[in-house]
């Protein structure tokens, strides 16, 4: 019986010595390792027999007093060390296991060791300690990750972040605050396997701010989970937003124009159009909204009979190529007379970055008015040509506006005088060459240039061939003047008889 008591005492002493050897002899105070209390212990050690806690460091850790088994410790460490083993069997199978902190900017780790059936878990701060040599600060892989300007993270199969680089940590704190949980992912996991390796755009909000941060995300599927990369594209999104607002502003402006506008981008696809284009071309809005190519656009115009019908389709295609080249040079300008009777003025203008703009303007009213005016002018000219008296009409600026056939016979003017910008001085000098000296021509010049106190008056003139003419000067509306020359047969015959008798 005494032998059994001695053996039990020896076994108890041996177990105590083993536990004391596994525990740290000189614990040091320091940072909280991400724990709840700032007075937590450097190199704190927990000893487990299976999943049951059998001992821990001499100085208890605030918040860790209730730890009684492996799950309790894992629950407390999971936020800062998400890779901490779920069960003690993982340590038993692997032997020694080092779990690094999710925040790679801090030098912290958890060391798990299997020693003769006892699991030793030690919280360690490597800053300034000899153990820091375990992590080479000049390791190129680690430097690449820590210094990378783009967030990189590893998402496990439970959609929790297991590891991230410094850029990701900085982004989390910027978006969610300094005490944010790093295991809660900023970006959701990729569910569609077909999108792995492809870029997707995502935005995250910022606490206390209405602004959003935009990123291009690329994810790759790994055995451990999803490895994600984010590239900051806020500048690109801002530029796109500015461009979109500018286009919207321009669209609102163009919407008020009566001229149809069609802008084709460098790829020759319709990039912008206004409502007037729909009204003028009768092209369906859904067709224009599908961004047709330039050739499809003009083919549709041809099908809608909204442009002159070409004689053959092959030459039409050649004309379209010439049209595009002319538009790129800013030299395309044509008037289209449509089968419906409408008349369009179509012009092409080059735009920056290889774009081309086409302007469609309905000038039917203008052309109709011009044609009507020309018709009335032709009618008036025909009436004047039937008169026996020579007629000369001066505009308000003193230029000769029109004459009739009798005037051309009288003064020997065989040109289209009505279309020449001849002044009253030039015209009266022509008359002077065929008339005897008379002050009437000077008076006519003064009257044409007068603006007030104008009344009709008459005078006689004699041409060098002896023909006597009666000249009547009449004011007209808007400052114009009409001069009428009538040949007096009686006066002319008497003058001829006097010349013969002399």
Quick: pLDDT tens for 409-422. Answer: 998 865 554 455 78
Provide the CATH topology of domain 141-232.
Answer: Beta-Lactamase (3.30.450)
Tokens 């039917």, residue? 364
* CA distance linking residue 404 with residue 381, whole number of Å: 7
Confidence of residue 484 (pLDDT cuts 50, 70, 90): very high
Is the domain 376-501 a CATH 3.30.70.1400 member? no
Q: What is the pLDDT of residue 16?
A: 43
Confidence of residue 215 (pLDDT cuts 50, 70, 90): very high
Q: Which CATH architecture has domain 261-362?
A: 2-Layer Sandwich (3.30)
Confidence of residue 162 (pLDDT cuts 50, 70, 90): confident
Candidate from 4-13, 235-244, 341-350 with smallest mean pLDDT: 4-13
Residue range 36-84, pLDDT digits in tens: 333 444 567 888 888 888 887 765 555 666 778 888 888 888 778 888 8
Please choose, from the candidates 403, 425, 422, the residue with its C-alpha nearest in 3D space to the C-alpha of residue 412.
403
* CA distance linking residue 389 with residue 382, whole number of Å: 14
Q: DSSP letters along 160-182, please? A: -EEEE-HHHHHHHHHHH-TT--T
% pLDDT > 70, the chain: 77
Numbered ranges of CATH 3.30.450.20 in the chain: 141-232, 376-501
Residue 310: pLDDT above 80? Answer: no
H-helix or E-strand spanning residue 226: strand 226-232
* CA distance linking residue 355 with residue 266, whole number of Å: 5
Cβ-count burial of 459 within 10 angstroms (0-12 exposed, 13-18 middle, 19+ buried)? middle
* CA distance linking residue 197 with residue 200, whole number of Å: 9
**In 30-101, beta strands by DSSP E:** 41-42, 45-49, 52-56, 97-100
Phi, psi of 415 (to 5 degrees): -100, 170
* Mean pLDDT over each residue of the chain, to the nearest integer: 79
Q: What is the pLDDT of residue 494?
A: 46
Average pLDDT over residues 417-444: 85
Provide the terminal-to-terminal Cα distance of the chain, rounded to the nearest Å.
190
* CA distance linking residue 85 with residue 94, whole number of Å: 11
Length of the chain: 502
Q: What is the pLDDT of residue 311?
A: 64
Q: What is the pLDDT of residue 445?
A: 92
Q: What is the pLDDT of residue 5?
A: 43
Residue range 118-145, pLDDT digits in tens: 888 888 877 655 544 455 555 666 666 7
Neighbours of 4 (CB within 10 A): 8
């Amino acid at each position: 019986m005494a032998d059994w008591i001695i053996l039990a005492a020896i076994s108890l002493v041996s177990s105590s010595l083993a536990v004391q050897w596994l525990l740290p002899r000189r614990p040091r105070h320091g940072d909280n390792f991400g724990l709840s209390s700032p007075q937590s212990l450097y190199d704190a050690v927990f000893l487990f027999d299976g999943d049951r806690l059998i001992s821990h460091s001499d100085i208890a850790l605030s918040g860790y007093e209730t730890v009684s088994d492996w799950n309790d410790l894992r629950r407390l460490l999971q936020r800062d060390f998400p890779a901490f083993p779920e069960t003690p069997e993982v340590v038993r199978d692997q032997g020694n296991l080092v779990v690094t902190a999710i925040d790679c900017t801090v030098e912290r780790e958890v060391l798990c060791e299997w020693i003769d059936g006892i699991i030793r878990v030690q919280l360690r701060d490597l800053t300034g300690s000899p153990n820091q040599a375990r992590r080479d600060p000049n390791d190129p892989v680690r430097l690449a990750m820590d210094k990378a300007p783009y967030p990189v993270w590893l998402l496990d199969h439970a959609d929790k972040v297991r590891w991230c680089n410094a850029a990701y940590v900085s982004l989390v704190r910027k978006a969610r605050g300094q005490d944010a949980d790093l295991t809660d992912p900023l970006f959701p996991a990729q569910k569609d396997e077909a999108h792995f390796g492809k870029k997707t755009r995502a935005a995250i909000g910022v606490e206390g701010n209405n602004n959003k941060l935009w990123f291009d995300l690329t994810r790759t599927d790994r055995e451990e989970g999803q490895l994600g990369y984010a590239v900051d594209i806020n500048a690109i999104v801002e530029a796109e937003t500015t461009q979109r607002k500018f286009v919207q502003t321009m669209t609102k402006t163009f919407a008020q124009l009566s001229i149809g506008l069609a802008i084709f981008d460098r790829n020759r696809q319709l990039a912008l159009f206004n409502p007037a284009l729909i009204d003028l071309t009768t092209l369906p809005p859904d067709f224009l909204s599908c961004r047709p190519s330039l050739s499809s656009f003009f083919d549709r115009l041809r099908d809608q009979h909204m442009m002159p019908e070409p004689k053959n389709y092959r030459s039409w295609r050649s004309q379209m190529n010439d049209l595009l080249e002319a538009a790129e040079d800013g030299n395309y300008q044509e008037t289209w007379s449509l089968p419906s009777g409408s008349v369009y003025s179509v012009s092409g203008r080059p735009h920056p970055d290889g774009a081309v703009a086409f302007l469609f303007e309905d000038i039917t009213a203008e052309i109709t008015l011009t044609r009507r005016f020309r018709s009335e002018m032709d009618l008036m000219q025909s009436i004047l040509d039937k008169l026996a008296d020579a007629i000369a009409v001066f505009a308000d600026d003193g230029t000769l506006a029109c004459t009739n056939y009798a005037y051309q016979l009288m003064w020997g003017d065989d040109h289209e005088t009505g279309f020449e910008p001849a002044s009253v001085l030039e015209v009266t000098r022509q008359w002077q060459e065929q008339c005897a000296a008379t002050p009437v021509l000077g008076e006519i010049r003064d009257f044409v240039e007068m603006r007030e106190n104008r009344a009709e008056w008459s005078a006689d003139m004699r041409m060098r061939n002896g023909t006597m003419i009666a000249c009547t000067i009449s004011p007209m509306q808007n400052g114009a003047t009409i001069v009428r020359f009538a040949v007096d047969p009686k006066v002319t015959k008497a003058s001829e008889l006097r010349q013969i008798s002399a």
